Chain A
Amino acid sequence: MSKLVKSILISSALLSGAGFGATLVSADDSGKFGLGREATPAEVAAWDIDIRPDGQGLPVGSGNVLDGEELYTNACAVCHGDFGEGVGRWPVLAGGHDTLTHERPEKTIGSYWPYLSTVYDYVRRAMPYGDARSLSDDDVYAITAYLLYLNDIVLDEDFVLSNENFLEIRLPNERNFTPDDRDQEPFYAAKTEPCMTDCKDGPVQITMRARILDVTPGTVDDDAAAGVGGVD
C-alpha cells in the first residue's frame, strides 16, 4: 500500500502544482479515504444480532419448554409439524438420529446440526418464515428449548434455557464435521494427464437415462420427485 500511496501522492502534488482545483484521491498514511462515518452504539446493537458457538452475542434472557411449545404451535407448526416432522416439503426439525450413513439420511437439528447457537441465531434472524424478527429474545430461548425437547436432547418439560446454561448443551453431531480435504481425493491429488485414447475396453454402455425418471418441468411426477434430492 505504501508504495501505491507514495505514487498517488506524487501525482497529486504534480496536479495541484499545475493549479487545478482537484488532486487525485488518495488514502492517507493509514490507508483511509475519510469516507463513511462512525456507527452509533444503538445502530450496532440494532443489527448485530449474530450468535457464535462460544456464546458470543447471546442476549440475556430465558425461556422454558412449555412456553416454547405454545409459541411453536402458534408460529411454527403449520410448516414444521407439531413434532418437528415437517409438513409437505418444509424442513424437518427433529428426529433422524443415526441416519447419516443411510441411503436417505434425515438431517435435522438433533441428527446433524453441530451447534445450538446456530438454532438460536437462525430462528431469531430468519424465522418464522415470512415474519422474521418478530420473536422476542425470550421467545427464541423458549422455542430453542422446545426444539431441544422435540429432539430428545432435553427430556424435562420444565427445562429452562437461558444465556446462563446455554453453553452446557451440546448437540450430538458436533464432532462429525471435518475440514475441506477435497485436494486429497485421488482424482485431484494425482494431478496426472488423463487418458486421451482407447480409455475404455469396447463401446461405452448407457447405465441411466433421465427420460425414464421423467421429472423435468412440464412432465413433473411428484411421486418420482419425492425420491430425489432438493437444493434447500
Chain B
Amino acid sequence: MKPEDKIMTETKGSGSTNLSRRSLLKAGLAGSGAALATGALPAAARAEGDPLITEIQDWNRYLGEGVQARPYGTPSQFESHVVRRDVEWLTASTESSVNFTPLHELDGIITPNGLCFERHHGGIAEINPADHRLMINGLVDRQMVFTMEDLMRFPRENRVYFLECAANSGMEWRGAQLNGCQYTHGMIHCVVYTGVPLKLILEEAGLKTNAKWLMPEGADASAMTRSVPMEKALDDCLVAFKMNGEALRPEQGYPLRLVVPGWEGNMWVKWLRRIEVGDEPWHHREETSKYTDLLETGKARRFTWVMDPKSVITSPSPQAPVRHGKGPMVISGVAWSGNGRITRVDVSIDGGRNWQTARIDGPSLPKAMHRFYLDIDWDGSDLLLQSRAMDENGYFQPTKNELRAARGENSIYHNNSIQTWYVQADGTVENVEVG
C-alpha cells in the first residue's frame, strides 16, 4: 500500500481541491457505481431516467407547512438518528452520568445546542432565572449577591471554546473498546459563549491582596465545586448565560455557567450560584477522589487542568462507514488544544507509517475546535486512518503507547492519544489499536 497512490490532492498550505483530470475521470466512473448502491434505481427505470426527476414529487406540487408551524425549529425528520447517546454500563445512575455528542454526523466547528454532550452529577437542575442568584464571598472587600438581571448589565464578550470532559476517551486507556467516535471522543462540544468576564464580577466585589484561589459552586443537587487559581480566573474565564446565541440549555447550566477555556470540563461549573475567594485550594471531592490521574507508580497527579492537543477523524469512522465505493473520499475530522490554536493536523492512511498534512478549514481560534480535511482517491484497499494534531505550544498529539509508557493504564482522565480507524474493503470501519 503506497499512500502516494491514494492521495488525490496535495493539501498542504492550500485551500484548493484541484482534482487531476485522470482522477476526475476515475471519480466519475466510481460515482455512477455508487449511485446504484445508494439510489437503488432499477434497471428499467434507469433507461427512462430517475423517477425522482422524471415524475413530479409531492413536495413539488402541494403546499408545505406555514411559517408558524415550527415556532422553534428542529432538524429534519430524516436526521432523527443524529442524537446524543449514552453507554448504560458506564455509570450507576443516569443522573450522575454522561452522554455523547454525535461527532460522526457533524461538520464545521460549532456544536448545535441540542447535541452538546451532557455530564451531570445530580441531574439537570431546573431553575427559573428570576430565582437564580450568584454570590461572591470570602476574601473580597464586599460579599455580594447578583441577580441574573444584574449580570446582564455588565459588559459582555463572545468567545468560541471547546469544552471537553476530562474523561473523554477514558474508556480507551486499556485498548480499543467502543465502536464509534461518538463514544470514544464525544464528550466534547464547541459553541460560542456570551458572558461577562469573571474578572469584572470579581472586581465589583474587590479582591483582597491574599486572594489566590476561587471556588465556583453549582446550585444543583451535587453542589459541584472546584478550585481555580486566580491567574486563570483573571485571564480568560467567563460567566456565561448564552450559547450559540440563545440562553444556555438547562442541561448546560441554565441560567448561568462558568467558562474555563482550554481546561477540563468538570471545572466549567453549571448552574453557577457562588464563587468563594480564598488563599488556598479546597481539595474537594472533584479534585481529589475524581479528576486526579493515577500513575503506574501509585502516585497521582492533581490539578491536571489543561486539555492537551487532540484530534479524531469523524468520517470515515465506525458509525460513518464508507458506502460510496472507490474513488474520491473526504476524510474529515476535528482537532483542538487547551494550549491555544491548532497549527497543523497530519493524517495517515497506513497506521502511522506515512503522514500527509491535512487542510484546516474554517476559523482557527484558540482553545476552540478546528475542522480538518484530507481528500483522497480510495482504491478500495484496507486503510488504517490516524490523525495527529499539533498546537501553537509546539505539542504534538502522542500515541497511546507513548501515553501508557509515561502514565500506565489507570489514569482514567486526559487520554489525548492518536485514534486508529480500520477501514476495510467493504467500507466498514472499526476502532483498533496498532503495533
Bitwise interface map of B from 283 to 312 toward A, beta carbon under 8 Å scored 1, else 0: 111001110101011111111111010000
A47 touches which of B121, B135, B206, B353 (Cβ 8 Å): B135
Q: Decide if B170 is an interface residue (CB 8 Å cutoff).
A: yes
Bitwise interface map of B from 393 to 434 toward A, beta carbon under 8 Å scored 1, else 0: 011101000110011011010100000001000000011111
Interface size class of B (residues with CB under 8 A): 35 or more
Give complex CA distance A204, B121 in Å.
Answer: 41
- CB <8 Å contact, A215 and B89: yes
Partner-contacting stretch, out of A144-152, A159-167, A224-232: A224-232
Q: What residues of chain B lie closer than 8 Å to A35, measured between beta carbons? A: 146, 150-151, 153-154, 204
Q: What residues of chain A lie closer than 8 Å to B298, measured between beta carbons? A: 100-101, 176
Q: Decide if B115 is an interface residue (CB 8 Å cutoff).
A: no
Q: What residues of chain A lie closer than 8 Å to B177, measured between beta carbons? A: 210, 213, 215, 228
Q: What residues of chain A lie closer than 8 Å to B93, measured between beta carbons? A: 129
Q: What residues of chain A lie closer than 8 Å to B294, measured between beta carbons? A: 100, 105, 107
In the complex, which residue of chain A has the Cβ closest to the Cβ of B87? A217
Q: Which residues of chain A from 162 to 181 have a CB within 8 Å of any chain B CB?
A: 176-181
B302 touches which of A38, A91, A180 (Cβ 8 Å): A180
Q: What residues of chain B lie closer than 8 Å to A81, measured between beta carbons? A: none
Q: Decide if A64 is an interface residue (CB 8 Å cutoff).
A: no
Q: Does more than half of chain A's interface fall in helix, strand or loop, or is it mixed?
A: loop
Give complex CA distance A106, B351 in Å.
Answer: 35
- CB <8 Å contact, B353 and A200: yes
Q: Decide if A191 is an interface residue (CB 8 Å cutoff).
A: yes
- CB <8 Å contact, B292 and A177: yes
Give complex CA distance A121, B222 in Å.
Answer: 12
Bitwise interface map of A from 95 to 109 toward B, beta carbon under 8 Å scored 1, else 0: 000001101010101
Q: What residues of chain B lie closer than 8 Å to A130, measured between beta carbons? A: 95, 221
Q: What residues of chain B lie closer than 8 Å to A178, measured between beta carbons? A: 299-302
Q: Decide if B215 is an interface residue (CB 8 Å cutoff).
A: yes
Q: What residues of chain B lie closer than 8 Å to A100, measured between beta carbons? A: 294, 298, 300
Q: What residues of chain B lie closer than 8 Å to A213, measured between beta carbons? A: 175-177
Tell me the minimal C-beta distance from A33 to chain B in angstroms: 6
Q: What are 18 A-to-B residue pairs whose CB atoms are below 8 Å?
A: A36-B146, A36-B205, A43-B135, A43-B145, A101-B296, A177-B288, A180-B305, A199-B353, A203-B350, A203-B351, A204-B351, A204-B384, A206-B435, A209-B432, A231-B90, A231-B165, A231-B167, A232-B90
By a beta-carbon cutoff of 8 Å, the part of chain B in contact with chain A is 1, 85-93, 95-98, 121-122, 135-138, 142-147, 150-151, 153-155, 165, 167, 170-171, 173-180, 183, 187, 200, 203-206, 215, 217, 221-223, 225, 273-274, 276, 278, 280, 282-285, 288-290, 292, 294, 296-306, 308, 318, 346, 350-355, 384, 388, 394-396, 398, 402-403, 406-407, 409-410, 412, 414, 422, 430-435
